[in-house]
Amino acid sequence: MTAELVRGQNHPLPETRLEIRVSVGKPIVAGATLSDDRGKVRGTDWVAHPGSPTLPGLEVPRQAAADHRLAVDLGAVPEAVHRVNVLLALPVGAGGPVSFGSLAAPFVAVTGLDGTEVASYTITDLDAESAVVALELYRRHDAWKVRAVGQGYAGGLADMLTDQGLPQAHELAGAINEAVARGLARSVAAPPPRPPDEARVRATGQTAAGPAGPGPESAAAPQPVPAPHQPGDASGTTGGPVNYTHPGRQTSAPPPPPPAAAPAEPGRAAQPVAGDATGWSMEERLYNQVWGMFEDLARATAAYRSAVDFAESRMDQELDKVLSDPRSRIGNTGDLAREAARTKHGLLVDRARDALDRDLDQLAAESGVVEPALPMAFAGWDSPVWHAYRTPMEIPMALRLGDLHLPERPDLRIPMLVRLPLERGLWIDSGRSSGTDTLADTDQLRRLAMDSAVAHAARLLAVYPPGEFTVHVIDAAGAAAGALSPLVTAGVLDGAPAAGAAGVSAVLAKLTQRVDLVQMAIRAGAADALPPDLDTAEQLLIVNDFPHGFDDRAVTQLRYLADEGPAVGVHLMLVADREDAAEYGPLLDPLWRALLRLTPVADDHLADPWVGHAWTYEPPMVPPGSRVLKQVLDQVAHARRTGGR
């Protein structure tokens, strides 16, 4: 039976031939000293160490290691020896840890020759020590016992040996360290720590294939080794405790603190800073900050509208009261009362407007610093980051689908960010909506709708790593050839836009089959059973002019894709006028509801999740005359061709 010793505790030893096992997790030196009945080490020949590993009855390892076995035959040690001290020390000058405090607690066990443990001891509470006496085996009335010592020495071996009364302590300590260093030099070098983005293997291939100069990834490569892999950390590579950290995700180290707004002067709001929100990365912080601005704008406006509504209803009530009061018909009391009611209304509305302006000015200032800081996927087409486009390595957290604003301050735009992968399909409404009656004829609207669908699709293609997003197009009548030309000429589509009823059913069949296969694989937990030619990328299906070219079967398949697709990475983008599909009646209502409706022109059809204001949505516009879309698509196509993984 094993005795787990605590510091100072002793335990009888049943045999004299024993093995002492040491396990630390990092290479250390193990040795032993013999001392007489007064606890004194009589000379250097009473010390077993890597430079002189054997003494009568004692053998210690020749070099530093994470695990050691020391052989002891207590019957064979000289009569004058009353104590055997088992010591551990850190190798000096090998670039390893300099104190036991940075290691896992050393574990030592005394075992019989058959491996049964007699006693074990975990040396806790070590800090700055670089050498420690772990155990002592001592004679007591002609029997041997073991005691857990755990005495550490910050001065290393030299201090320890001096403490044990050895006159040549310093010389011997130097000799031991030299022997250890020789031993380490012989051994195989430990692998270098992982570079921070080694897990992102695609980075290397990408920069090699990239058309121009070193990209941001290669520039970031020679970063200092991240905190989890610093030398001396117990989570290193050579044995030791299991390292549970995900190699590609560095959540074990706390993220750098977010930029916080400087403390405000009294009576004035703080100067806003981009990224002033919680999150593990700047991207997440900006995402949270944008949502915070969205909520604050919704709520500040709600406060203003509520105050104005109240002021108006109170004024109406007061005016009614004046009307119904017969006394007000005499003289000018009625006029005075009416005047008073209007003044009260005006005062309250003014105060509400002041409060709103204060809030909106603060949000506008925040928007002014946040917009330029937004990464590609969150930024508008006019942002300079799109001109510096490079194919990304990672799927971004979210995508900007457009801008949102309220009538109180139309120039204060909130980016509309949706999480990726898309949770709902998109419906680009090419029909006339309430707000657009003044604008354009139907054909123009359809063209605008298809243009904005192409812009959304291009953005999705651009923010996904090459090869991880595939776009299919159904254009049954071929009516959108003009709008689709940026995608077609750049060659970023999976195939030519499908035309005619046959094309429609072929594309739908292919995607339906993919949804079925992936669903089956997920349910059966057999992702490796998927056919090897299955495209694992996310799929986007753009359907122009729905339901043109669709029969009942195709419509059913489309509804199936809309319901089941998002969970397995198949997304819909329907460009359609609901009126065109009116003949299907209520059958298609669930389809429309399942999709996120976007408009090709500004329209106030979106509601926020907090107060439910009607927000005006504006699609992301490529600035007129800008070639940014073409440049981006060319790079995407290049990366796809060169297999830029």
> If binding is defined by CB under 8 A, does position 322 make contact with another protein?
no
Nearest to 617 by CA among 636, 637, 599: 599
| Choice between 146 and 356, CB closer to another protein | 356
| Choice between 304 and 615, CB closer to another protein | 304
- Residue listed under structure tokens 């250390």: 28
| Choice between 414 and 573, CB closer to another protein | 414
| Choice between 362 and 391, CB closer to another protein | 362
> If binding is defined by CB under 8 A, does position 233 make contact with another protein?
no
Residues 169-198 close enough to bind another protein by CB under 8 A = none
In angstroms, what is the minimal distance from the CB of 415 to another protein?
Answer: 20
| Choice between 159 and 366, CB closer to another protein | 366
In angstroms, what is the minimal distance from the CB of 639 to another protein?
Answer: 44
> If binding is defined by CB under 8 A, does position 300 make contact with another protein?
yes
Task: Return the SS3 of 201.
Answer: coil
> If binding is defined by CB under 8 A, does position 338 make contact with another protein?
no
Nearest to 376 by CA among 397, 352, 406: 397
For residue 606, list its beta bridge partners: 615
Omega before 421 cis (within 30°)?
Answer: yes
> If binding is defined by CB under 8 A, does position 280 make contact with another protein?
no
What is the C-alpha to C-alpha distance for residues 633 and 255, in angstroms, rounded to an integer? 34
| Choice between 303 and 521, CB closer to another protein | 303
| Choice between 329 and 351, CB closer to another protein | 351
> If binding is defined by CB under 8 A, does position 343 make contact with another protein?
no
- Residue listed under structure tokens 């800073």: 273
What is the C-alpha to C-alpha distance for residues 480 and 478, in angstroms, rounded to an integer? 6
| Choice between 314 and 548, CB closer to another protein | 314
Q: Any idea what the Cα angle at residue 351 is, between residues 349 and 356, rounded to 5°?
A: 90
What are the two backbone dihedrals, phi and then psi, of residue 642, each rounded to the nearest 5 degrees?
-85, 10
Q: Is the dihedral of CA 431, 437, 441, 447 positive or negative?
A: negative
> If binding is defined by CB under 8 A, does position 277 make contact with another protein?
no
| Choice between 273 and 611, CB closer to another protein | 611
Q: Exactly one of 348, 395, 479, 537 binds another protein (CB under 8 A); which one?
A: 348
**544 with 450: CB under 8 angstroms?**
yes
> If binding is defined by CB under 8 A, does position 364 make contact with another protein?
no
> If binding is defined by CB under 8 A, does position 357 make contact with another protein?
no
Q: Exactly one of 351, 387, 419, 627 binds another protein (CB under 8 A); which one?
A: 351
> If binding is defined by CB under 8 A, does position 360 make contact with another protein?
no
> If binding is defined by CB under 8 A, does position 319 make contact with another protein?
no
Residue count at the site for another protein (CB under 8 A)? 18
In angstroms, what is the minimal distance from the CB of 558 to another protein?
Answer: 38
Contact segment (CB under 8 A) with another protein among 10-18, 87-95, 306-314, 493-501 equals 306-314
Question: What type of residue sits at position 293?
Answer: M
> If binding is defined by CB under 8 A, does position 146 make contact with another protein?
no
| Choice between 300 and 518, CB closer to another protein | 300
> If binding is defined by CB under 8 A, does position 355 make contact with another protein?
yes
What is the C-alpha to C-alpha distance for residues 234 and 241, in angstroms, rounded to an integer? 7
CB within 8 Å of 164: residues ≥ 6 apart: 33, 35, 39, 40, 41, 85
Contact segment (CB under 8 A) with another protein among 78-86, 233-241, 346-354, 478-486 equals 346-354
> If binding is defined by CB under 8 A, does position 306 make contact with another protein?
yes
> If binding is defined by CB under 8 A, does position 494 make contact with another protein?
no
What is the C-alpha to C-alpha distance for residues 453 and 540, in angstroms, rounded to an integer? 11
> If binding is defined by CB under 8 A, does position 352 make contact with another protein?
yes
> If binding is defined by CB under 8 A, does position 291 make contact with another protein?
no
Question: What type of residue sits at position 589?
Answer: D
In angstroms, what is the minimal distance from the CB of 249 to another protein?
Answer: 30
**498 with 504: CB under 8 angstroms?**
yes
| Choice between 351 and 593, CB closer to another protein | 351
> If binding is defined by CB under 8 A, does position 424 make contact with another protein?
no
Nearest to 24 by CA among 72, 71, 70, 64: 64
Task: Return the SS3 of 82.
Answer: coil
What is the C-alpha to C-alpha distance for residues 105 and 497, in angstroms, rounded to an integer? 65
- Residue listed under structure tokens 């799927």: 395
What is the C-alpha to C-alpha distance for residues 132 and 123, in angstroms, rounded to an integer? 9
> If binding is defined by CB under 8 A, does position 273 make contact with another protein?
no
In angstroms, what is the minimal distance from the CB of 303 to another protein?
Answer: 3
> Strand 54-55 vs strand 3-5: parallel, antiparallel, or unpaired?
unpaired
In angstroms, what is the minimal distance from the CB of 489 to another protein?
Answer: 48
In angstroms, what is the minimal distance from the CB of 305 to another protein?
Answer: 9
Q: What is the maximum alpha-carbon separation in the chain?
A: 129
Nearest to 270 by CA among 365, 374, 357, 356: 365
> If binding is defined by CB under 8 A, does position 463 make contact with another protein?
no
In angstroms, what is the minimal distance from the CB of 352 to another protein?
Answer: 5
What are the two backbone dihedrals, phi and then psi, of residue 446, each rounded to the nearest 5 degrees?
-60, -40
> If binding is defined by CB under 8 A, does position 329 make contact with another protein?
no
> If binding is defined by CB under 8 A, does position 302 make contact with another protein?
yes
Task: Return the SS3 of 533.
Answer: coil
**406 with 301: CB under 8 angstroms?**
yes
Q: Any idea what the Cα angle at residue 61 is, between residues 55 and 64, rounded to 5°?
A: 140
Q: Is the dihedral of CA 459, 463, 464, 466 positive or negative?
A: positive
In angstroms, what is the minimal distance from the CB of 264 to another protein?
Answer: 12
Q: How many CB atoms lie within 10 A of CB 78?
A: 12
Residues 551-610 close enough to bind another protein by CB under 8 A = 610
Q: Is 545 left (phi over 0), alpha (psi -120 to 50) or beta?
A: left
> If binding is defined by CB under 8 A, does position 314 make contact with another protein?
yes
Contact segment (CB under 8 A) with another protein among 78-86, 291-299, 377-385, 447-455 equals 291-299
In angstroms, what is the minimal distance from the CB of 318 to another protein?
Answer: 11
Interface residues toward another protein, by CB under 8 A: 295-296, 299-300, 302-304, 306-307, 310-311, 314, 348, 351-352, 355, 610-611
